[in-house]
Amino acid sequence: MKVYDSIKYNDKGFVPVITQDYDTGKVLMMAYTKKEQLEKTLETGLAFYYSRSRDKEWLKGDTSGHYQKVVEVRIDCDMDCVLYIVRQVGAACHTGEFSCFYRKLNKNGEVEDE
């Protein structure tokens, strides 16, 4: 079954993507893709997204060199979220941190040191 057309893109054509690092298991980031960028990801083995702020296709690593080599693409039960499992080159986060989720919250909702 070809799933591109079964995926529940929102009214702007986006579906959320979770990206996980294959080697460490860390969740790296969350972003969005359109159908075309999902196809490119599957075909090329590099993670493509669609930047909502810049309103254009986004090949992760295209400017930073921090490409994501895709090991697996998975789809969730209700077809409204995609999971890229990747080998991250360098760091996923623009801050230089490996994962965008580098801050932990304590019980009071305060950012805690690692």
Residues that bind a second copy (CB under 8 A): 1-4, 16, 18, 20, 25, 27, 29-30, 38-39, 42-43, 72-78, 81, 83, 93-95, 97, 100-111
CB of 25 vs a second copy, minimal distance in Å: 3
CB of 56 vs a second copy, minimal distance in Å: 18
| Residue 42 phi, psi (nearest 5) | -65, -40
CB of 20 vs a second copy, minimal distance in Å: 6
Q: Please, which residue, 25 or 65, has the CB nearer to a second copy?
A: 25
Q: Which two tokens stand for residue 56?
A: 């254009």
CA distances in angstroms from 73 to 20, 22, 106, listed in the order given: 10, 11, 32
DSSP string across 36-62: HHHHHHHHHSB-EEEETTTTEEEETTT
